[in-house]
Structure 1
Amino acid sequence: MTSEHTEPSGAQKMLGDFAPALVGYTDDVLFGQVWEGRELSPRDRSLVTVASLVTSGSTEQLRYHLTLARENGASEQELIAVLTHLAFYAGWPRAMSAMTVAKQLFRAS
């Protein structure tokens, strides 16, 4: 991080004092280098990430990435369609769990 005053990242707030190396990789490599790559648009990266989280059953991270996907241009209806599509590839329970997270998020806003 630079010496400028910046707001701590989500990873820093959650784990900064517990796992600083993981926070550094998250902020500098994942969100700094990987997410800033030019090969994929932010929208496409978000859709790939949401799909990956659903297929791995990682619903803890899904709320953040569904929100980011919307900020990156994916509509609520597109994300619902992605989750529905994944039911056939990732499994029904994982899609239902992901859809529950999406419903809570989308209906709260």
Structure 2
Amino acid sequence: MATETPSPAQKLIGDVAPKLVQLTDDVLFGDVWKRAGLSPRDRSLITVATLTALYRTGQLPSHLRLALVNGVTADELVEAITHLAFYAGWPNAMTAATALKEVLAEQPATEQPTTAHAG
């Protein structure tokens, strides 16, 4: 008998809200995120921007991690967050930058994206 690895949503709230987990796994990540109209990379960038703009700090770190997995670079995330400071508010951008710093610190040194900027 094969056991499935629990999804992130299952681990987080599976014991409290199983239907929400099913919708998250099957509809959001199983359908919406798989649609051909946008790449996972673009969807990640849009999601990070939206979470930053709406100050949805609880979901932001996991989506920053997913963005890195989906090919958004650390430099691009920094630029997006900096750009958002002027449209979504300075505190939102500062919080997002802090979350990104924490996410990048979790990465093994061999996997850490560079954040060097041309001067």
Q: Shorter-normalised TM-score: what interval?
A: over 0.9
* Structure 2 counterparts to residues 76-95 of structure 1, below 5 A: 76-95=74-93
Structure 2 CA distance for aligned equivalents of residues 10 and 19 of structure 1: 13
User: Which of residues 35, 38, 44 in structure 1 aligns to 2:36?
Assistant: 38
TM-score, normalized by length of structure 2?
A: 0.86
Tell whether 2:106 aligns with 1:108.
yes
Gaps of 5+ in 2: 108-119
TM-score, normalized by length of structure 1?
A: 0.93
Gaps of 5+ in 1: none
Determine the structure 2 residue equivalent to 1:60. 58
Say which SS state the counterpart of residue 16 (structure 2) adopts.
coil
Structure 2 CA distance for aligned equivalents of residues 107 and 8 of structure 1: 25
- The one-letter amino acid paired with 1:25 is L
Length, aligned pairs only: 107
After superposing on structure 2, the runs of 4+ consecutive aligned residues of structure 1 that deviate more than 2 Å are none
**Percent identity of equivalent pairs:** 54
Determine the structure 2 residue equivalent to 1:97. 95
Give how far 1:4 is off.
4.9
Determine the structure 2 residue equivalent to 1:72. 70
Determine the structure 1 residue equivalent to 2:17. 19
Structure with the bigger percentage of helix: 1
What do residues 46-80 of structure 1 show as CA deviations (whole Å, max 9, x unaligned)?
00000010011011111111111111111100100
